[in-house]
Amino acid sequence: MLTGLFRLHGLFVASHPWEVIVGTVTLTICMMSMNMFTGNDQICGWNYECPKFEEEILSSDIIILTITRCIAIVYIYFQFQNLRQLGSKYILGIAGLFTIFSSFVFSTVVIHFLDKELTGLNEALPFFLLLIDLSKACALAKFALSSNSQDEVRHNIARGMAILGPTFTLDALVECLVIGVGTMSGVRQLEIMCCFGCMSVMANYFVFMTFFPACVSLVLELSRESREGRPIWQLSQFARVLEEEEDNKPNPVTQRVKMIMSLGLVLVHAHSRWITEPSSQNSTVETSKVELGLDETMPKRIEPEMPLWQFYLSRMISMDVEQVITLGLALLLAIKYIFFEQTEMESTLSLKNPMSSPAAQKRIADDCCGKDNGLKHSHKSAAEVTVTKEDTAEVIKPLPVVSVAETKFVAGDDVFSNASSLPSSPAPQVQLPLDPRPTEECLSILRNPEKGAQWLSDAEVISLVNAKHIPAYKLENIMESPERGVAIRRLMLASKLPNPSSLKTLPYKEYDYSMVMGTCCENVIGYVPVPVGVAGPLILDGKQFQVPMATTEGCLVASTNRGCRAIALGGGASSRILADAMTRGPVVRLPTACQAAEVKAWLESPEGFKCIKEAFDNTSRFARLQKLLIGLAGRNLYIRFQSRTGDAMGMNMISKGTEQALSTLQEKFPELHVLAVSGNYCTDKKPAAINWIEGRGKSAVSEAIIPAQIVREVLKTSTEALVDVNINKNLVGSAMAGSIGGFNAHAANIVAAIYIACGQDPAQSVGSSNCITLMEATGPTNEDLHISCTMPSIEVGTVGGGTNLAPQQACLKMLGIQGASKENPGENARQLARVVCGTVLAGELSLMAALAAGHLVKSHMTHNRSKMNLQELPGTCTKKAA
């Protein structure tokens, strides 16, 4: 409701600017006129001498007052600098100065109307300047300047008032109440300054709510061209102002605190001013004193015979030192602001701007018409089509509204925009020289915050890289878009390759590199598209899953899909999670083997485990130490930390906890030396019996019963043949090979395909593919097939790493497990492990059936044999075999 009222108020003020301005000025004049009928003529200054209290003026007071004035002037200067950064050096500056002046005038008029003396006004003026805050006026001006028509100006001012009005009202109330406490201090000068400060805050609020928005609306209306009816200037950098300001809404907690504080201050003022009133006797005595000294308190002219202009001129010539310092600083900053500030971002009102010429307009139209070709520009032209702040600031007419096709990364049916590397609106091109400029000039352009890399050609950027001014690995961060950084790196690399055109077929465009930088890859030169197939539906635990598989091996997805079909016809598969604990195994060394044994005994004691667990658990809200497995080899201790890690795969999380636990262990045993936070006792990305026996990550098991009819009709074999092949291949054959965890047909195939599709670490398929596949006959006639897969070390996660990339997130969404589980932390990662285990079950079933039926070679010759790049050798039968 309050927002709606401010919106209506803003709409009214913007729609009737003349009425509001005239009404405000009329009210000001009336209040000045009414001052003539009051009983107090004590207006000090303006060639009037007022009664002064006998107060000794110290030099320290003069110094403090001078410093305060200088601070106020510098503060106003920085306020105007902030206005200039909005893109207008003069227009908003004049508006801000007019706001300050009108606030000051209105404050003075209010004090006149309230019959208050103005003695000490020169001391209160710096205090008034420090109270001026143009941020709200700037924000409201940005709302207005983001408009293309007068109607839009009115609606945007109304919208800005709805957003800014309630906050500014509450801030003004709090400021008045806080400053008003000073009026009860008993110190005369402080009371005068605080009284004037309260009036100034009120006047500033009144001007902001009425006078300023009306002036902004009127200025924009008067600055429209007579022919086209459009604003003479257009600030394109304000295109997103509405979203930015709405995102900056005040914190509700802060607002509540301000309201509570305001109520408390109101009670303080009420108690001080109305409840504890001075006694009537004191009032009588004071009245009598005033009446007795009436003649002494009457204001007198300082120079009765001197004209007003001559009086002021003489006073200006005979200024004190502090006045000279203050005035000199003000003039110096004014000259610096007007003549020496950079003017590249200035929005000028001049109609002689070159952009308004027909030739320039034609060039803009050509640029807009050629936008489609611009999206397909070469490496060298990448810098030429980039929009800069200088270009947008030079546009003095709104360009035709033309929808620019954004660069898109397409994955399935979803479209992901890469808006970071595209201009928000059509704009003139940056004209770059044909020949590279000197390195020093290029470096100065790069370091210029208002220019930057978009003002440099690719050749100039490469020269800066070769001169070590730009680190090659930081190209994505320094360029105006990460994609251009990748393109330049490709140019630099191409000349160093045996075949300079090697990268031609490696794509790099239309990819969101912001999700890659600092997370997934460095020195990026592109990306490799991998075909993604789907196997399913996989019926697992009563749910259907369409499993994405990224692979270049023919037959893999088709074979797994056949296994899923057989499982579904048999009633589905079941799975369970047996354990959930990621591991990290550091190696530490002690002076002697006996001391190492003592540390081992302490770690295995309840007291030692509790101490280490407390240190470990404090490093994360998810990591919880479950178990320590300790091995000893001479003076070395190998400590295997096991912990749950939520929905993350958890290597970074558990490494952090391990490091903290080792620090605590060193405090207990100072002679202990940490050799490495990873001592291969984890074990990560290497075949290891400890993972096969103890497990790592998620330990899962899945099983299914396939009826004999399905075995015959779908798998084209028999239960007896499957059991026989499984025993002699997966069990005996793997034992003969000395395999560790490899008692399966091809679990790594399925694990790697799912890992690549779902953003997992492909290297962890080494340990994750540990699996034992068992088959046996079951059922009333022992013709049905019972198959199970046990996988003790599936290392997966649904947050972090490659799961942040959009295509990989799409594959996780297919399974319904993207991101972290809100209801049960870690459940999404466990569900992914169950899907991996169930899909491995399907793949094992289909491949073993193909082996038992003798179909493996035939199917691979049909689906998994490349017809490309086959060399014809004499005496071969390549064509016949194909």
Known catalytic residues are 553, 685, 761, 860
Sequence-distant (≥ 6) Cβ neighbours of residue 873 within 8 angstroms: none
Measured between its terminal Cα atoms, the distance across the chain in Å is 77
Strand 771-778 with 742-743, pairing: parallel
DSSP type of residue 342? -
Q: Is the dihedral of CA 281, 285, 287, 291 positive or negative?
A: positive
A 10 A CB-CB count for 257 gives 12
Residue that has been written with the tokens 């409701």 in this structure: 1
CB 706 within 8 A of CB 784: yes
Residue 567 corresponds to which tokens in the numbers above?
């499982």
CB 796 within 8 A of CB 649: yes
Tell the burial category of 722 from Cβ atoms under 10 Å away from its Cβ (0-12, 13-18, 19+).
buried
What ranges in 669-790 are assigned the alpha helix state H? Answer: 689-694, 708-713, 719-726, 734-736, 747-757, 765-768
Q: Is the dihedral of CA 255, 261, 264, 268 positive or negative?
A: negative
HEC string of 775-829 equals EEEECCCCCEEEEEEEEEEECCCCECHHHHCHHHHHHHHHHCCCCCCCCCCCHHH
d(CA 597, CA 591): 11
Strand 784-794 with 771-778, pairing: antiparallel
Residue that has been written with the tokens 């640029």 in this structure: 367
Residue 3, H or E segment: helix 2-15
Strand 742-743 with 636-644, pairing: unpaired
Cα–Cα distances (Å) from 853 to 450, 569, 720, 758, 848, in that order, read 71, 20, 12, 33, 9
Residue 199 corresponds to which tokens in the numbers above?
């009036």
Per DSSP, the residues of 429-475 read PP---SSPPPHHHHHHHHH-TTS-GGGS-HHHHHHHHHTTSS-GGGH
